[in-house]
Chain A
């Protein structure tokens, strides 16, 4: 199960990279970018997965020395942060796209080559 999930994550990462490199429309690039991010998030969550364990929410304080059978809470916490960051970056990218579109009335990346060399 976890192998399948992580594979899906990796596949999304590669797909996202391919999209970022291949797409010419800025919006599509951003979509590819979110795919890439989502893939990474999936990989992160599956890293913290423990077989046959439950969610990291406890019913009671565990007795000293015993370990409750839960999945690793750390990757989950990290993923939460990563998602928010991804959101921030995506929002910013969209802002840029808005500005770029206002500037040239186009979303084709080939129109944005003013800076070079």
Chain B
């Protein structure tokens, strides 16, 4: 194998040779540069390969023929191999990316670049303290040179700040090194580690200086203004390398020298890391310049890595996996993002909307952002998972909270950015001019994230159970994205059906999972079928829809917590992309994803506590949480409730569902919300009926559920937007489900199941039909509709049946839910919550009537006179569901009886017993079939009676009656169904004052204000940045050694 020393030799030799032959070889210096970088990559690559195949062990490379400490030695181990490899790869790709720039600007730049990459290799490999210092200096000088490449005033300023700051830092490092030498008599890092400098009072100052210097090299908050400026002003190609490689090398160097200080100091590294992670991300929330934003994010990620390094005692042998998982994701993502930024040349993240002109770039952009946040299947996901799990086995809850809060704040700006790119208008922006050499590096980074993600999956406990087959299918759908809708739709439905057939035997004995499988996959088929009504290619829709469904199915199938969480995140990602497809969806999808991430983190922490209690990642671990069980249950419940949009966590839903595309709304409403229900059911089953740790929690959740129904229904009643009305209705319906589950009795669960099944069916119907109508009429406002019953009779019947179900009116299946609730409430004794639930149930009539009246009844509007029925591709699936409702209403026992039997073992409370078609409880009885027969018979008889009495009725035209309160123009001024419940609003409207929305707005304003206020420290003055560095040093000193 080629020794790593040749990395240095090749790089320097080539650099010197370029100076010698530069003029003569002008044409091929570019090729030489690439060749040199390729050779360096090859050398580290072959070492990496050897380590991965276990054919070598950690090797020391001695120089000058003497053993350390007398001479300088390099070390090549697994970690060094990985780092040098990624550094050289980034160098190679970076040079490819900047090929034109380099050839324009002359030989010197190429030499500088080579030395730059080489110096980072040495900082990683060297085991000599002073040598480390020398090559760090080379690195910063080379970087300062590369910054000059931009040749702008800003770049000069940034470089100057950088030079002064690093000059001070390295001066102090030098002081530290020389004193460390004077105490230990060696410069070798390993010998210094052996000397335990950090524990001796006198030498601890030296340790302090070394440590603080290496920490400062990583640009800790707030002493990092100079670093940010470099990110902002440097050529994006250089920014990519600073973020990807300099940061990686710097983190590794810190990791290398930390043992010199000893474990007493680790805590402080974590502390600084936490400050940096949270602080930097916080300020990122106010940033609109892409490169600077990336800078904030980079520094934040490095902060996270510092936390991990500082916590390595807790993380034990998982440290490497976690750190590398985060590091590599950060590395690939940041490099890719900077490169994309270089292509776009935008000064505002809003201009990234231009990305849509190149779908590949958009895809890669999304990939990088999701990798940064830590979504599956990227390595950072697994790393974060292991991080949280391991920390919780050590009881480090505060650290978990800090890490998750920081990650969440990062999500705030990353998803705002993604939203801009996906939705903002880009017609004014120039089209992109992309050469292949700029595209290839970005592709390589993007693809490597996927490959690495899959590669590391089995390294995590239970990771091997993660099923990548659906994801492969989705990849194929991506590849086929150019095909027309009807082909892709057929393929998608085929895939879903095939998966259903494949899945069924695996869940044969598990009714609960079967029910949800039918809701998820059956729902998928039905809602996808409605997609036949769309024309064109519908770019990007199918992969994302399938991603969501894959996630949903994964949740059902999950046997371990990681499996579950993996699928949960996939589902979140898929649904985010679905939701944001709507025309005005950007802000709503944004709040959706933020709530989802926060919820996911709550779940993650809950899982962590479960894992910490059992050291078992199986899902069953949830059943036995001994470590802070109440907290764990609460976190999990809150996490799932972000998906069910319970009160307080619901504000994302109306907009997200209301503005989504017509067939996406039913997907995200009727189907997606059930994921939260499934999660809650799993959780509550694991909690068990008489768990003393959850009694209070369940009681609170009961109230939350009840109030959710009240607020949801009342808000729906005051809506003018048809789809938002339905969205609020979903909130309320899920409130019922939550309430029933929180009751934790047989009867309550039966009610919840009934509601779940009903909501799936009627909300699919309503969203499909109303969505179709909204598209057809071109307005969401109900007061602009009317009289559609004449134009769309089949839609009317579908909606009529649905609202009978929602209202709980016998004989349809909604009544079953109400009846079960009455029984459950009396049995449980939650009378007042129950009263609220029923009150809310009656309020439902307000919005139901508003919906059907304003859309279908009343007066036909002038501009709708030529409307026809909505597409049969929509009505077809709708009528399938209506048949389902009818069957469920007439023969509820076929569904509810097995559910009851399934629930029996879990609850020792009163049960619903069945006698043929009749259901009994201790309190009452109900016979769905008989009611259907009686009502049906009586109805037919009465209708017959009326018909027999009627003469030949004469049809009246619309204009035969007065228009006392409706005008076709500016209808909202006089339209009877505009603000139809004005009086009611006057009386009870205060109940739905947007208090919760205001609350969240205030919170977000506060966060942004804090960020805006904090970032004023970055005044742009060189002096201030120097001050920050010195303040950082002095304060750190006073805290650590000064004992402050």
Contacts and interface: CB of A to CB of B under 8 A. Distances in A.
Direct contact of A and B (CB under 8 A): yes
Interface of A: 13, 17, 20-22, 24, 26, 29, 33, 36-37, 40, 43-44, 47, 74-75, 78, 81-82, 85, 88-89, 92-93, 95-97, 99-100, 103-104, 109-110, 112-117
Interface of B: 130, 134, 137, 141, 144-145, 148, 153-154, 156-160, 163-164, 167-168, 170-171, 174-175, 178-179, 181-182, 187, 228-229, 232-233, 286-287, 292, 1015-1016, 1018-1023, 1026-1027, 1030
Given A85-B137, A109-B1022, A40 B174 contact: yes
A47 B1021 CA distance: 36
Of A44, A75, A97, most buried by chain B (CB within 10 Å of CB) is A44
Q: Looking at chain A's contact residues, is the secondary structure mostly helix, strand, loop, or mixed?
A: helix
24 contacts: A17-B1030, A20-B164, A29-B164, A36-B168, A43-B175, A44-B178, A74-B187, A75-B178, A85-B137, A88-B141, A89-B141, A92-B144, A100-B156, A103-B156, A110-B1021, A112-B1022, A113-B157, A113-B1020, A114-B153, A115-B158, A115-B233, A116-B1020, A117-B1015, A117-B1020
Contacts of A78: 130, 178, 181
* The 3 residue pairs across chains A and B that have the minimum distance between CB atoms: A116-B1020, A113-B1020, A103-B153
A75 B179 CA distance: 10
B207 to A, nearest CB: 16
Given A109-B1022, A110-B1021, A96 B156 contact: yes
Given A43-B178, A88-B137, A92-B141, A100 B1023 contact: no
Q: Chain B binding site: helix, strand, loop or mixed by DSSP? A: helix
Contacts of B148: 95-96, 99
Contacts of A33: 164, 167
A13 B171 contact: yes
Contact of B175 (A13, A93, A116): A13
Nearest to A99: B156
Contacts of A74: 181, 187
A5 to B, nearest CB: 14
Contact of A40 (B145, B171, B287): B171
A21 B1021 CA distance: 11
A88 B112 CA distance: 14
Chain A CB within 10 Å, residue with most, of B171, B187, B232, B1030 = B171
B158 A116 contact: no
A93 B164 contact: yes
A99 B428 CA distance: 35
Contacts of B1022: 29, 109, 112
A3 B206 CA distance: 18
Nearest to A97: B160
Contacts of B171: 13, 36-37, 40
Given A75-B181, A116-B1018, 6 more contacts: A44-B178, A47-B181, A78-B130, A103-B156, A112-B157, A115-B1020
Contacts of A37: 167, 171
Contact of B154 (A75, A82, A110, A115): A115
A95 B1030 CA distance: 25
A18 to B, nearest CB: 10
A47 B1015 CA distance: 41
Contacts of B181: 47, 74-75, 78
Given A40-B174, A92-B144, A115-B233, A26 B160 contact: yes
A114 B154 contact: yes
A116 B232 CA distance: 9
A110 B144 CA distance: 21
B1030 A44 contact: no
A40 B139 CA distance: 21
Contacts of B134: 81, 85
Contacts of B1019: 113, 116
A44 B172 CA distance: 12
B160 A115 contact: no
A67 B444 CA distance: 58
Contacts of A114: 153-154, 157, 1020
B157 A115 contact: yes
Contacts of A40: 171, 174-175
A97 B158 CA distance: 12
A13 B1030 CA distance: 13
A106 to B, nearest CB: 11
Contacts of A82: 174
A17 B1018 contact: no
Nearest to B155: A99
Nearest to B160: A96
B140 to A, nearest CB: 8
B122 to A, nearest CB: 14
Contact of A93 (B158, B163, B170): B163
A26 B157 CA distance: 11
Contacts of A110: 1021
Contacts of B145: 92
Nearest to A112: B157
